[in-house]
Structure 1
Amino acid sequence: MRDNFLRGPSSAGDWVADGLRAVGVLGVIGAAIWGSLTDAGILAFVLPALMLPRFVGARSGFDIAFSITVLIAAWSNVWDLYRSFLGWDTIVHLVCTGVLAPMAYLLLARLRIVPAPAESTFLRRTAITHSALIGFAVSALWELVEWVGFEYVTEDIYTTYDDTIGDMAAGGLGALIVGIAFAWRPFAFERYRSTD
C-alpha cells in the first residue's frame, strides 16, 4: 500500500485527484484561519478518507468521484446545507456511503481480510454482501460521530432519532447499489492488482 501511495501521478486524472487532496488540506487551513475550529475539525476529519484512494490503488475516475463526494459531505456541514435544503442529508448519506463502501472493501483486500477483485476467490455475492455490511457499519459510525459532536462539541449539529435511522437506511442503500456495480465491474474501481 505504501508503494501505491508514493507512486507519482501518471495521468491527468491522477493530477486532478491529487489536486482534490490539496483542496482538502487547504480547506482545513482556511477554516482554521477564517472560520471556526469546529469547521476546521470537520474538514480535518475527512483528510484520512481523501488519502485512502492512493493507498488502496483506486482508479483515478473512482478516486475523483470519491474525493469530490467526501469534500461535498464535509463542506455541506460547514455551510449548513444539511439544514438548509430538505433531503440534502439523505442524498449525501446515500452517495457518500455508496462510494465509501467499495473503497473500504479495497482497503480490506489490501490488508488481505477479504479477497481482492483480481483473485480467483473473489465472488460477486460476497462483494455485494460485504459492501452492504460495510455501508451499514460506516453509517452507524457516522451517526455516532454526529451524536458525540452534538453532545460534547456543539448543539449546532442536527441529530434526532428519525434523522439517524433515515441516514443509516440511505447509507446502507447507497452501499448496496454501488456494491452491485463494484461486484460486476471491479476493474473500474481498482487500478493496481497487487495486494502488497
Structure 2
Amino acid sequence: MIDMLLRRPDGPSARIADGLRALGLLSVLAAFIGWGLVEVLLFLLVLLGQLLTRAAGTHPVLDGATSAVLLLASWSAVLAWYAAVPALDLAVHFAATGVLAALAFRLWLRWPEPAPQPAAGARAVLHVLSLGALLSVLWEFGEWFGYYLVSSEINVGYDDTVGDLAAGLLGSLAAGILLALRRPAADVAGGAGPHAGASGGSSGRPGGSYFPPADEG
C-alpha cells in the first residue's frame, strides 16, 4: 500500500485525482485557520479517505470521483450549503454512497486476497447495492451520534433519515449498474497498478476489466 501511495501519477485522470488530494490538504489548513476543531477533524477524515483510495490502487477515475464527492460533502456542511439548498443533501447522499460503495466493492474483491471467482453482472450490482445499504445505515448512525455528541445543528429526523437512505440506495444501485455495464471497457473499479494496460482492457478474468489479476495494482 505504501508503494501505491508514493507512486507517480500516470495520466491526466491520476493527476486530477492527486490535485483533489492537494485540495483536501488545503481544506484541512483552511479549517485550522478559519474554523474550529470539528471542521478540522472533518477535513482530516476526508483527507484520510483520499489517501486510502490512492494507497488501495484505485482506478484514477473512481479515485478522483471519490475525492471530489468527499470534498463537496464536507464543504457543503462547513459552509451551510445544505440549509441553503435542501436538495443538495440528497444529491450528495446519492453520489457519495455510490462512489464509496463502488470503492468498498473493489476493496472487498482484493483483500485479504483477490477473489478467485469475482461476482459479475447482476451479482456485482447486488453486492454494490448491499454495500451501499450498509454504508447508508452507518452514515445515518454517524449523523445521529453527531447530533447528540457534537452539534445540534446536524439535521436529523424521520424524513431526513428516510430520504438519505433512499438516495444512498439509489446511488449505490446506479454505481453497481455502471460497473456492470462498463465491464468490457476500462472500468472505474479496476486496478491502476504498474501492470494495468494503457487502454484498461479486459484482464481475462470472469467479470471484465474491473477484476485485475492478483499481481496488478
When the two structures are superposed, what TM-score results if normalisation uses the length of structure 1? Answer: 0.89
SS class of match (2:128): helix
Residue 50 of structure 1 corresponds to which residue in structure 2? 50
Residue 168 of structure 1 corresponds to which residue in structure 2? 165
- Identical residues among aligned pairs (%): 37
CA contact (8 A) 2:114 2:214 kept: no
Residue 135 of structure 2 corresponds to which residue in structure 1? 138
Residue 30 of structure 2 corresponds to which residue in structure 1? 30
Residue 62 of structure 2 corresponds to which residue in structure 1? 62
**Which ranges in structure 1 are unaligned for 5 or more consecutive residues?**
none
Deviations 1:78-115 (A, max 9, x none): 01111111211111101111111111111112204773
The CA deviation at 1:177 is 0.8
Give aligned pairs, total.
193
CA contact (8 A) 2:20 2:64 kept: yes
SS class of match (1:31): helix
The one of the two structures with greater contact order (alpha-carbon pairs below 8 A, sep at least 6) is: 1
Describe the shift of the 1:133–1:38 C-alpha distance in structure 2 as closer, same or farther (beyond 3 A). same
The CA deviation at 1:169 is 1.1
SS class of match (1:87): helix
Residue 41 of structure 1 corresponds to which residue in structure 2? 41
Describe the shift of the 1:130–1:113 C-alpha distance in structure 2 as closer, same or farther (beyond 3 A). farther
Q: Return structure 1 stretches of 4+ with deviation > 3 angstroms.
A: 112-115, 119-122
The CA deviation at 1:156 is 1.3
CA contact (8 A) 1:112 1:195 kept: no
Matches of 1:163 and 1:114, distance apart in 2: 38
Describe the shift of the 1:94–1:180 C-alpha distance in structure 2 as closer, same or farther (beyond 3 A). same
Choose the corresponding residue for 2:124, options 111, 124, 127.
127
Residue 109 of structure 1 corresponds to which residue in structure 2? 109
Residue 145 of structure 2 corresponds to which residue in structure 1? 148
Structure (1/2) with the larger helix percentage: 1
Residue 74 of structure 2 corresponds to which residue in structure 1? 74
Larger-Rg structure? 2
Residue 188 of structure 1 corresponds to which residue in structure 2? 187
The CA deviation at 1:58 is 2.2
Matches of 2:114 and 2:18, distance apart in 1: 27
Matches of 2:40 and 2:110, distance apart in 1: 30
Matches of 1:81 and 1:20, distance apart in 2: 20
The CA deviation at 1:69 is 1.0
CA contact (8 A) 1:20 1:68 kept: yes
Q: CA RMSD in A?
A: 1.9
